[in-house]
């Protein structure tokens, strides 16, 4: 009996140690994933913020161009129009860098594609026979 009890005790202890190791490994994976998701969330927020700033600057640009055109001048010659245009271009550059980071980021391994067996089957519909009842002709 003592041998069986010792064996069970050893197996339980080994099971607990293995379980703890699995939990630690899982916690590490979860921690890494949370870090990745946090970084992605920050990136998405920065992109949203830049898009909002670009929209705001385009509104300013549109108003300035309207004022310049109203005064019968060329918008291309106006210094404030050029300033706003340069701000928009800088913001667009920052946005494109952020959008490009997603592509350069290490991607998760892709799932294997489903295997197909031979050539795809083509569904053929059987021609449905017209069995509608025709109204009888009445004679008078």
43-58 pLDDT, tens digit each: 999 999 999 999 999 9
Nearest to 37 by CA among 138, 105, 135, 95: 105
50-99: pLDDT as tens digits: 999 999 999 999 999 999 999 888 888 888 999 999 999 999 999 999 88
Residue 116 exposure: Cα atoms within 13 Å on the Cβ side: 4
Give residue limits of the domains in the chain.
11-104
Model confidence band, residue 105 (pLDDT cutoffs 50, 70, 90) = very low
By percentage, how much of the chain surpasses pLDDT 90? 31
CA dist 110 and 113 (Å) reads 9
Q: Are 43 and 101 contacting, i.e. CB atoms less than 8 angstroms apart?
A: yes
- pTM reported for the whole predicted model: 0.53
Q: Angle at the Cα of 15 (from 11 to 19), degrees rounded to 5?
A: 175
Helix, strand and coil in the chain, % to nearest 5: 70, 0, 30
């Amino acid at each position: 009996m003592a041998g069986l009890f010792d064996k069970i005790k050893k197996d339980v202890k080994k099971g607990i140690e293995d379980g703890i190791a699995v939990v630690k490994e899982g916690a590490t994976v979860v921690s890494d994933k949370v870090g990745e998701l946090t970084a992605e969330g920050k990136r998405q927020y920065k992109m949203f913020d830049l898009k909002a700033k670009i929209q705001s600057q385009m509104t300013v640009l549109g108003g300035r161009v309207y004022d310049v055109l109203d005064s019968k001048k060329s918008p291309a010659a106006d210094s404030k129009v050029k300033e706003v245009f340069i701000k928009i271009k800088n913001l667009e550059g920052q946005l494109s860098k952020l959008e490009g980071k997603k592509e350069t980021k290490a991607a998760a391994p892709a799932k294997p594609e489903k295997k197909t067996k031979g050539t795809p089957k083509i569904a053929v519909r059987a021609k449905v026979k017209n069995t509608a009842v025709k109204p009888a002709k009445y004679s008078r």
